[in-house]
Amino acid sequence: MINSTQVSYFTLGAYFDTGLFKYLYFLVILTVYVLIISANVFLIVVICMNRSLHEPMYMFLVSLFVNELYGSTGLFPFLLVQILSEIHTVSAAVCFLQVFCLYSYAAVEFFNLAVMSYDRYLAICYPLQYNTRMTFKRIAFLIAASWIPPFLIIVTTTSLSFTLQLCGNIINKVYCDNYSIVKLACSDTTVNNVYGLCITAFTLIGLLSLILYTYMRILRVCFSGCKQTRQKAVSTCTPHLASMLNFFFGCTFEVLQSRFDMNNVPNTLRIFLSLYFLTCQPLFNPVLYGLKMSKIRHVCKSLFR
């Protein structure tokens, strides 16, 4: 029985020998990472440099894109090193740092999507009051609320895991995962489990209920309003809804494969499911918003011309 502060390294057990294919995987992962960095940075620059895009919705998009960069940087460089490495080990300090980065990325993503749904709710359901309600102070408060509470929540999560007594150091993932570390514990994990359930309940019952409520109200306006109102609502809400569904399904895949025995599932598929919401969301969002948001699309077209 060893304390987690005495563990010098963790072994990532999900990697397997791929021979020369590891160079192909390296190139694929590197290409995806470069695309994510390029697309998100490009849209951040476009929004910040163009005054016509200095509106609340686009400020929240900048917050979302910054989070995509943050989450991707916490994962992809680590994957690239591990793919080429012969021994798939990671120091305890780096492992807990990655747990903090990836979990805080997921939490901030959920908070950002909730804030964006609230913004769309105000814009469509209360268009005449939108500018008076969505002031600069309100925007700054909502962006801060998208980042500060998730970081505080994940600091507590990581701290609780760090103090556990562990009976092993093998994590059956391609990256460090908090639940996998908790499963290695031979001390009491009641506090970890209760805290995790409370946070999950808050996220699902609180934030998800807020998101669903706002979209129900938006749909109600769509069906009761004129054609122009419906078109505006659909054009602005479709990207947000698609992003939310993509992220929700990705998180569901991750929870299912972490909580249930999936030994009968091929190893490659398990790895893909565990990486889905960490890789597809940062790549999916800039493409989706860049193509669907008419203002961004027009600004990008003018730049390329």
The mean per-residue pLDDT over the stretch 38-63 comes to 90
Q: Which two tokens stand for residue 230?
A: 């419906």
φ, ψ at 100 (rounded to 5°): -60, -45
CA distance 10 to 177: 11
221 touches 229 (CB < 8 A): yes
Instruction: Enumerate the β-bridge partners of residue 9.
Output: 91
CA distance 80 to 124: 44
The model's pLDDT over 5-25, given as tens digits with 9 standing for 90+, comes to: 467 788 888 887 777 788 898
Reply yes or no on whether the pLDDT at 166 is more than 90.
Answer: no
The model's pLDDT over 245-262, given as tens digits with 9 standing for 90+, comes to: 888 888 877 877 776 666
CA distance 283 to 287: 7
Mean pLDDT of the residues in the chain: 85
The sign of the CA dihedral 288, 289, 292, 298 is negative
Q: Within a 10 A sphere around the Cβ of 301, how many other Cβ atoms?
A: 9
Q: Within a 10 A sphere around the Cβ of 179, how many other Cβ atoms?
A: 17
Residue 225 pLDDT level (bands cut at 50, 70, 90): low
| Percent of the chain with pLDDT strictly greater than 70 | 92
Contacts of 87 (CB under 8 A, 6+ apart): none
175 touches 75 (CB < 8 A): yes
171 touches 10 (CB < 8 A): yes
What is the three-class DSSP state of 18?
Answer: coil
Angle between helices 227-259 and 267-292 (to 10 degrees): 160
Contacts of 53 (CB under 8 A, 6+ apart): 46, 47, 295, 296, 299
The mean per-residue pLDDT over the stretch 174-183 comes to 88
Position 305 scores a pLDDT of 64
| Percent of the chain with pLDDT strictly greater than 90 | 32
Architecture per CATH, 2-304: Up-down Bundle (1.20)
Among 28-32, 84-88, 223-227, the minimum mean pLDDT is found in: 223-227
The model's pLDDT over 285-297, given as tens digits with 9 standing for 90+, comes to: 988 887 777 777 7
Position 263 scores a pLDDT of 66
The mean per-residue pLDDT over the stretch 254-272 comes to 73
79 touches 25 (CB < 8 A): no
Residue with more model confidence, 17 or 74 = 74
The mean per-residue pLDDT over the stretch 85-111 comes to 91
CA distance 277 to 100: 16
Strands 170-171 and 89-91: unpaired
